[in-house]
């Protein structure tokens, strides 16, 4: 099977994935990438790819025998296909994802107040393990610094944030860093979203922690600045079958005149047993 016609149709660099390695990793590559060619297999065709892209702004180009057909993902689900070999998944724009490191400076993100400090963010990313082929939820995402960092490392990301002003900031921060983050302007409605591999809960809200733990992601990380939220969050993770660890961060940053304390934060992380 030649993919050259799909490469030409993309008009930009493409990533090639194979559903033989799993449908979920292939879908997550499409959710994260600007142009992704998916090699199909028996039982997994354009309909399955299209259904998995609900909520993402994508266009599909299907190689069906000698024909190339451009469709909306929703139409790919209902259309009858003859002998589809591969699907090109295109985002509206080409993402110019940077490779200049991670745990970016705090001022790299527009924010209402403060973002999770770079030192803490580095630790959060290490626990979430974002990478190509996985899906991360950033729940109560705030300005979306963690969501953007995960997307910069190649993961597909859904940011859930009920504050519409913060949602605008998430979109702006994602655009500024050349990544695509799906933004849900609402409280977490877990059943309506595709199941994640990892979840970050940006504030220790107990209902958000419980809802995030209930989806059985491999890893859940919770950040809280409130001492009163630590034990309930830990108990909620343990009740959902997670082995829980935690650390309290009190980092201070070097300035010309000495050290300035950052906002203290407690991180809990659960690993599915």
Give 247-269 pLDDT, tens digit per residue. 998 888 888 888 988 788 999 99
Give 196-231 pLDDT, tens digit per residue. 999 999 999 999 999 999 999 999 999 999 999 999
pLDDT at site 236: 98
Residue of 182, 221, 217, 219 whose CA lies nearest to 203: 221
The secondary structure of 38-101, three-state, reads EECECCECHHHHHHHCCCCCEEEEEEECCEEEEECHHHHHHCCCCCEEEEEEEECCCCCCCCCC
* CA 246/CA 223 separation, integer angstroms: 10
* CA 139/CA 31 separation, integer angstroms: 18
Query: Which residue is it, tokens 């974002």?
Result: 130
Mean pLDDT (the chain, rounded): 94
* CA 204/CA 217 separation, integer angstroms: 17
In the chain the domains, ranked by start, together with CATH numbers, are 1-91 (3.30.950), 106-271 (3.40.50.150)
Give 14-34 pLDDT, tens digit per residue. 999 999 999 999 999 999 999
Residue 187 reports pLDDT greater than 80: yes
Helix (H, G, I), strand (E, B) or coil at 226: coil
* CA 209/CA 205 separation, integer angstroms: 6
Query: Which residue is it, tokens 């409605």?
Result: 189
Give 5-14 pLDDT, tens digit per residue. 999 999 999 9
* CA 6/CA 9 separation, integer angstroms: 5
The single-letter DSSP state of residue 194 is P
10 Å CB burial of residue 179 (0-12, 13-18, 19+) is buried
Give 121-153 pLDDT, tens digit per residue. 999 999 999 999 999 999 999 999 999 999 999
Helix (H, G, I), strand (E, B) or coil at 6: helix
- Rounded to two decimals, the pTM is 0.95
* CA 89/CA 37 separation, integer angstroms: 6
């Amino acid at each position: 099977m030649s993919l050259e016609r799909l490469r030409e149709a993309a008009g930009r660099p493409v990533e090639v994935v194979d559903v033989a390695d799993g449908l979920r990793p292939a879908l997550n590559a499409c959710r994260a990438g600007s142009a992704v060619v998916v090699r199909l297999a028996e039982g997994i065709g354009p309909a399955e790819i299209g259904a998995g892209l609900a909520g993402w702004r994508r266009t599909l180009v299907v190689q069906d025998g000698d024909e190339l057909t451009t469709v909306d993902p929703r139409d790919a689900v209902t259309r009858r296909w003859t002998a589809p070999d591969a699907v090109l998944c295109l985002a509206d724009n080409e993402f110019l994802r940077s490779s200049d490191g991670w745990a970016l400076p705090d001022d790299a993100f527009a924010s209402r107040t403060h973002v999770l400090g770079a030192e803490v963010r580095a630790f959060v990313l290490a626990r979430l393990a974002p990478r190509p082929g996985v899906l991360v939820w950033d729940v109560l995402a705030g300005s979306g610094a963690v969501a953007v960092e995960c997307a910069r490392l190649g993961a597909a990301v859904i940011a859930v944030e009920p504050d519409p002003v913060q949602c605008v900031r998430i979109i702006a921060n994602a655009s500024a860093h050349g990544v695509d983050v799906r933004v849900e302007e609402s409280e977490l409605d877990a059943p309506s979203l595709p199941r994640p591999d990892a979840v970050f809960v940006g504030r220790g809200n107990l209902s958000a922690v419980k809802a995030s733990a209930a989806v059985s992601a491999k890893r859940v990380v919770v950040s809280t600045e409130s001492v009163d939220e630590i034990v309930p969050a830990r108990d909620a993770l343990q009740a959902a079958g997670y082995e829980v660890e935690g650390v309290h961060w009190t980092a201070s940053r070097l300035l010309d005149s000495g050290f300035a304390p950052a906002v203290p934060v407690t991180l809990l992380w659960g690993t599915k047993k």
